[in-house]
Structure 1
């Protein structure tokens, strides 16, 4: 299943499930955990069936007794969960309409927990809150035939997608358990966790671990369990359960314990971690600093901040957990980068260690429940032992780098994340990623251009005309002209053929009115024209998109080496930081980008952006109207 097919499946499953919630009396919080439990059951059953078939095939056969029955131990070696019969999806799906399905699901979850200590008291058992009709309809949604043969990773992505959507809808403590994928991916791509001990002392739903596993599988082509050991700690009971369930859905092992990290350090990992990643709660007050465990905490080697704010407790924890070559990446309130008084003294000491590696400013609207900007901090303790590296910090200002998902939500595209990673690796002296990224974009651009060429020929055939000047250019070898000329050409194609198809469609409609006997044939021709135009337009837009990404990288780093770029990035030394009152705010150093001249303004591109913004606003208006109508109905109005 490719990414586009998976996206379509995710959207369809979410829409069906969310429509049910909108018509029920349940809040998003009440609804979210049990629905995630159903995804868990469906995924566990797929893995169970696949593993069972593989185990049975590999079992030796006795001449008289045949093959022995499969047992729970067999499933451990197959990295699958053994499911009692009452917890198997086939059994659940075949329940009669008269069954008390809520109570049945509760018992199914209990039977799984009885088999696995790591899942004790983890799985949802609140299904009696649901009306039976609602549960049966949810089961039918997740009985989609497309889910029958998908891999565990696909189910993991679907689980992540639902986690994401529930966070956006305000479920589970305002979405605090879920770090937006863009920020998780940015952190993982920069610290590159590929071996040893990986720790998240504020692990939420374990998103950092899941993305680490994806990173290892995609870059090292091996299972994460072969390379890393995950440790997590989480304060909230619900979030701890979500994390354990998330790891199980992805087939990952992790030692996750519940505890308040300010007072509890269950894993005892000070100085032992290869990688630390986290999105801790910002600006927490009320930490009892009079407790002996806090005053004498070995995780606070740079001192106890005097203010009632825990940001610099977290920052020191992340530093202290690292071993002598360890890396850390974490999300932090923007205010922490410039905080004064005792926090400034701690920050000064951190800078002087040489471990601060990269500081990233992130714009607003990246979180689902708060619109404030944030920063990403990165430590690399191996820098402390290298005088030249210790004196350098990369300041990266990404406040103007984002994709607008909606009027109140931004994220990074996959390409923006790749560009960020390529930039950071240039700073570290690695040109390979930069060149591979450019090669990938060129390949995708060329593929899209070829499809656009094919679209031109197909449309010309359907329209019954030819356009030699366009087709001649399309036939030219790519090396004979610059990308800018090619981009101008495909834009011309798009305008020309959009107009031509519209004209032909209008003509077909008029002809059908004049001669109804031709209506069926003309309708078929119109449908084919519009389908080919849509495919052609998509190829044009994809080509232009990747050309734009190539230009973004090449214009900033033309020779493939790191260089300071006004408004984006700058490498600073400790002397400069001292002169700036030990501020670690990237925008204070990178300056302001050069304003482009008016002739660089792309009218068509801006109109496309406006069109997308209007589409998003219309979609939000529909959702808002439905919410208001639901609220009025519940009030009996």
Structure 2
């Protein structure tokens, strides 16, 4: 039996669909449309917080338009049976009565509260996938977002239909990535908490080379960029990305950011994944009995040199992560992430790619002991130095550590060092890796051979003779070709040296603090 509420609900959505026909949107058109929505927030919301408002609205509009599209299709199939058209099996997501986009659009006051009510109702009926996806932005704060401002935003989004017919998932996914980068560019420093430049992401994924049927895990997944790139990598290799469905896992400490990761995957057309919200180091979400779940590929760009990360509990860690060399220091969680990722890598197939600050390669004390242990167990395959100022929020030169649970026979007892510090394009505010730089780095790792000025293969005895210090210049000497350096080369060398000095000073300050001394004694 079809009740009046069900019929009215469809009639409103159907009328809206007729008013805004699903004209296909090109990627540039969609990017422009989304960018315009963000522009409407200027003056009301801090730029760093744009994503907390624009993404939920965009996702709400998308799933509402898709629901209406699905409803119309089911209605046509059933000769106008509204009850049949409302069946859950006809819809990707359930949307309760009164919670469609057009229901909120019809409101003229207290629009923020109407949005919150709709968001929570949708999350409640889709708990397995959409829990917490809309975040907890201050929609009801009328000082920031008066009804007039929200009406403008909603009317802007209402000008186009975002159904699957108008915007296929791959196009929508690309536009979502564009908007994430746009917000990252605008907020810069804060962006480092949730966004890794896509060129760096591609490098890590291409090195790990995930295959059909393999499991992939990012313990610091941010907005899910690494996991999306895994899917794109499988596509580029001619594989079927659907074979990864149900085999993609991530964990993110910030609830709103974990919601963005879920949106990212869903808008790319991926339905079956598991993104957990919690502190990975303190409360890892994926485990089987007394052991952490183990994956084929473990990949991450965790927060650099995280402080107060839970080192006290690490000494009695129930998952045994501290067995890999001990407990990292309170002021630097970098090797705790490495320990967690190794423990989460499957025996035999498990491989790890992790971004670290270069200071983690040479700092001594507890970190030096962990480094020595992991090197002696022959897990480290490659150390790749990157150029300075590639990442949001820091000018430091980072590095990539590649580890394997079982290295190829011809690589056992050896580590490849790559000096990629000069491979970048200088930008006004931030440097970038270009395709030719990525090709050079990837080819160098795959070749695993000496290359003057670029790469060197060291034995574990070589590294032992350097007290297990992984600082790249100890192994890769610059080429002396007798030519004078260009200004560009000199600036690059200066940036690298400056970044290294900051790392060294930060490490010294931590050591001084242990003795109750002020950093001023360094310059006294």
Q: In the alignment, what sits opposite 2:119?
A: 109
- Relative distance call for 1:144 and 1:382 in structure 2 (3 A) is farther
Q: In the alignment, what sits opposite 1:371?
A: 395
Whether 1:303 and 2:325 are equivalent positions in the alignment is yes
State the distance in 1 between where 2:97 and 2:318 align: 52
State the distance in 2 between where 1:74 and 1:228 align: 20
State the distance in 1 between where 2:381 and 2:28 align: 36
CA RMSD in angstroms comes to 3.4
- Relative distance call for 1:299 and 1:102 in structure 2 (3 A) is same
State the distance in 2 between where 1:230 and 1:152 align: 18
- Relative distance call for 1:8 and 1:330 in structure 2 (3 A) is farther
State the distance in 2 between where 1:290 and 1:301 align: 15
Q: Verify the 8 A CA contact 1:196 1:228 in the aligned structure 2.
A: no
TM-score, normalised via structure 1 length: 0.63
State the distance in 1 between where 2:482 and 2:183 align: 40
Offset of 1:327 from its aligned partner? 0.8
Q: In the alignment, what sits opposite 1:576?
A: 462
Whether 1:74 and 2:89 are equivalent positions in the alignment is yes
- Relative distance call for 1:177 and 1:327 in structure 2 (3 A) is same
Equivalent runs, 1:550-629 vs 2, <5 Å: 563-593=449-479
Equivalent runs, 1:3-22 vs 2, <5 Å: 6-7=27-28, 9-10=30-31, 12-13=32-33, 15-22=35-42
Q: In the alignment, what sits opposite 1:154?
A: 171
Per-residue CA shift, 1:76-101, capped at 9, x if unaligned?
6xxx32434644445656x47x4543
SS of the residue 2:416 aligns to:
strand
State the distance in 2 between where 1:391 and 1:131 align: 64
SS of the residue 2:221 aligns to:
coil
State the distance in 1 between where 2:149 and 2:362 align: 51
State the distance in 2 between where 1:219 and 1:596 align: 42
Q: In the alignment, what sits opposite 1:43?
A: 62
Offset of 1:49 from its aligned partner? 4.8
Offset of 1:50 from its aligned partner? 5.1
Q: Verify the 8 A CA contact 2:252 2:276 in the aligned structure 1.
A: yes
State the distance in 1 between where 2:98 and 2:85 align: 17
Whether 1:183 and 2:187 are equivalent positions in the alignment is no
Q: In the alignment, what sits opposite 2:357?
A: 333
Q: Verify the 8 A CA contact 2:453 2:479 in the aligned structure 1.
A: yes
State the distance in 2 between where 1:293 and 1:579 align: 29
Q: In the alignment, what sits opposite 2:8?
A: none
Offset of 1:377 from its aligned partner? 0.9
Offset of 1:265 from its aligned partner? 2.3
Offset of 1:347 from its aligned partner? 1.3
Per-residue CA shift, 1:159-184, capped at 9, x if unaligned?
22222222333389554122222222
Q: In the alignment, what sits opposite 1:267?
A: 286
State the distance in 1 between where 2:131 and 2:336 align: 32
- Relative distance call for 1:287 and 1:105 in structure 2 (3 A) is closer
Whether 1:398 and 2:427 are equivalent positions in the alignment is no
Q: Verify the 8 A CA contact 1:262 1:294 in the aligned structure 2.
A: no
- Which consecutive residues of structure 1, in runs of 5 or more, have no partner in the other structure? 428-562, 607-637
Offset of 1:285 from its aligned partner? 2.7
Equivalent runs, 1:32-431 vs 2, <5 Å: 32-49=51-68, 51-52=70-71, 69-75=84-90, 80-84=92-96, 86-89=98-101, 95=106, 98-118=108-128, 119-124=130-135, 126-129=138-141, 130-143=145-158, 145=160, 149-170=166-187, 175-194=192-211, 195-224=213-242, 226=244, 229-252=247-270, 253-268=272-287, 270=292, 272-291=294-313, 294-295=316-317, 297-305=319-327, 307-308=329-330, 309-324=332-347, 325-383=349-407, 386-404=408-426, 406-427=427-448
Offset of 1:331 from its aligned partner? 1.0
Offset of 1:29 from its aligned partner? 4.1
Q: Verify the 8 A CA contact 1:392 1:572 in the aligned structure 2.
A: yes
Per-residue CA shift, 1:225-263, capped at 9, x if unaligned?
545612222222222232233333333332222222222
Q: Verify the 8 A CA contact 2:132 2:255 in the aligned structure 1.
A: no
Deviates most, 187-196 or 327-336: 187-196
SS of the residue 2:200 aligns to:
helix
Per-residue CA shift, 1:477-506, capped at 9, x if unaligned?
xxxxxxxxxxxxxxxxxxxxxxxxxxxxxx
- Relative distance call for 1:5 and 1:284 in structure 2 (3 A) is same
Aligned residues: 450
State the distance in 2 between where 1:105 and 1:67 align: 25
Q: Verify the 8 A CA contact 2:414 2:459 in the aligned structure 1.
A: yes
State the distance in 2 between where 1:307 and 1:172 align: 25
State the distance in 2 between where 1:144 and 1:413 align: 36
Q: In the alignment, what sits opposite 2:6?
A: none
State the distance in 1 between where 2:235 and 2:28 align: 21
- Which consecutive residues of structure 2, in runs of 5 or more, have no partner in the other structure? 1-24, 490-524
State the distance in 2 between where 1:328 and 1:46 align: 40
State the distance in 2 between where 1:210 and 1:566 align: 35
From the two aligned structures, give the one with the greater helix fraction.
Answer: 1
Equivalent runs, 1:407-486 vs 2, <5 Å: 407-427=428-448
State the distance in 2 between where 1:33 and 1:227 align: 27
Offset of 1:387 from its aligned partner? 4.2
Q: Verify the 8 A CA contact 1:327 1:380 in the aligned structure 2.
A: yes
Offset of 1:264 from its aligned partner? 1.4
- Relative distance call for 1:37 and 1:227 in structure 2 (3 A) is closer
